[in-house]
Amino acid sequence: MIRTRFYPLWKPGLLDLKDAAKYLGNISPGTLREWTAAGIIRPIPLPGSAIREKGSNKVVLKPTDRKMRKLVFSTRSLDRLIEEFEKEA
């Protein structure tokens, strides 16, 4: 999680929607969601969890067959987006 006053000594590699919005200058998470829908920035597609049959351990759907619904962004792609906005300014 990104702190508002003191930043950690290390830079996280992946940020969720809320923290990515803060990383981009405290924009609204809704704005970042709209940028994602418009193709301005792409989230990282992470595999979801496996779905198993009820009462058994048999895997019905593998994690690689599903995608997480949670939006996760790499700090590298966020940095590139910031650089693109700086060039346009």
What are the tens digits of pLDDT across the range 32-60? Answer: 999 999 999 999 887 766 677 777 777 77
Among 47, 35, 48, 31, CA closest to 77: 35
Q: How far apart are CA 71 and CA 66, in angstroms?
A: 14
Among 85, 73, 80, CA closest to 18: 73
- Classify burial at 21, counting beta carbons within 10 Å of its beta carbon; exposed 0-12, middle 13-18, buried 19 or more: buried
Global pTM value: 0.69
Q: How far apart are CA 86 and CA 81, in angstroms?
A: 9
Q: Which pLDDT does position 40 carry in this prediction?
A: 94
**What is the average pLDDT score of the chain?**
82
